Structure 1
Amino acid sequence: MAQKRFLAFLVAMGIIVTLGDAYCWGKIHKPGEAKDGCMINGKLYPFGHIERTEDCYQCNCGEGEMECCSLFHIPVAYDKKKCKVVFNKKRCDYDVVQKNDPSKMCSVYSRVG
């Protein structure tokens, strides 16, 4: 019986991890800190929804807090001997390319965000 429960737990955790698709963070502003908007890596963004920051995050900026989630997913399972990871700022995602010919893409088996 305990083994079935443990197996069910593992399956549930696998589903939860699979559904989590972005790295998110938040910041609570000190009173009066966000007068004109939210500061993200030295750039001031207006209050409201921010579709894409310069650093590839999607954010919600409020007077009391700011919440952001990444638009990119980090490759973790690929042929590390033959391939390398390169950030593509235009697409806000990582490309995995061959080390000896960066014009050729490599297969990626899993990503985390």
Structure 2
Amino acid sequence: MFNLSPVSRCLALALILSSLAAFANAGCYMGPKKVGAQDPCQDDTDKDWHEVGSSWTNSQCIQCSCGTSRMSCCHRMGRPSGFPEDCEVLRDWKQCTFEVVKKNDHSVHCPHVAVGK
């Protein structure tokens, strides 16, 4: 069907595997509450308490919701990777965004891959 060279096959396989890694590392988790059904949930990061039925975003851009039997959380900001060594990640923890830019010139954006969100 496809007549690919060995190098092209290796590159295609690498692309597929890196895509699967991104899906496997989606950044959401759930856990049982350590207290009763009507008791509040404690944020694992900031250690503050939230009422059942509430949702919040903590200081590390993790959005959580408190249910009667469990708390569920998802990362709101992707984790960039695969960028050149002369680049760095600038995170805005208030807006839950990031940019990958040249270390010596923050106006120049760098190519990257973001995992999760």
Residue from 74, 78, 91 that aligns with 1:73 = 78
Residues 1:94 and 2:98 are matched in the alignment: yes
Q: Specify the code of the residue in structure 2 equivalent to 1:84.
A: E
Distance 1:51 1:42, change over 3 A: closer
State the superposition RMSD in angstroms.
2.9
Give TM-score, length-normalised by structure 2: 0.65
Partner-residue secondary structure (3-state), 2:77: coil
Shift of 1:78: 1.0
Partner in structure 2 of residue 62 of structure 1:
67
Deviations 1:40-72, CA, capped at 9 Å, x for gaps = 121222222515333212222113211101001
Pairwise CA distance, 1:94: 2.6
Check conservation: 1:74, 1:111, Cα contact below 8 A: yes
Compared with structure 1, are the counterparts of its residues 90 and 31 closer, same or farther at alpha carbon in structure 2 (3 Å cutoff)?
closer
Query: Percent sequence identity over matched residues?
Result: 29
Q: TM-score, normalised by structure 1?
A: 0.67
Per-residue deviation, residues 53-110 of structure 1 (Å, max 9, x unmatched) = 3321222211321110100111111112x101122113313321211123432222x1
User: Which sections of structure 2, spanning at least 5 residues, go unmatched?
Assistant: 1-12
Count of residue correspondences = 101
Q: Unmatched 5+ residue regions in structure 1?
A: 1-9
**SS, match of residue 42 in structure 1:** coil
Which deviates the most, 45-54 or 95-104? 45-54
Q: Which residue of 1 aligns with 2:47?
A: 42
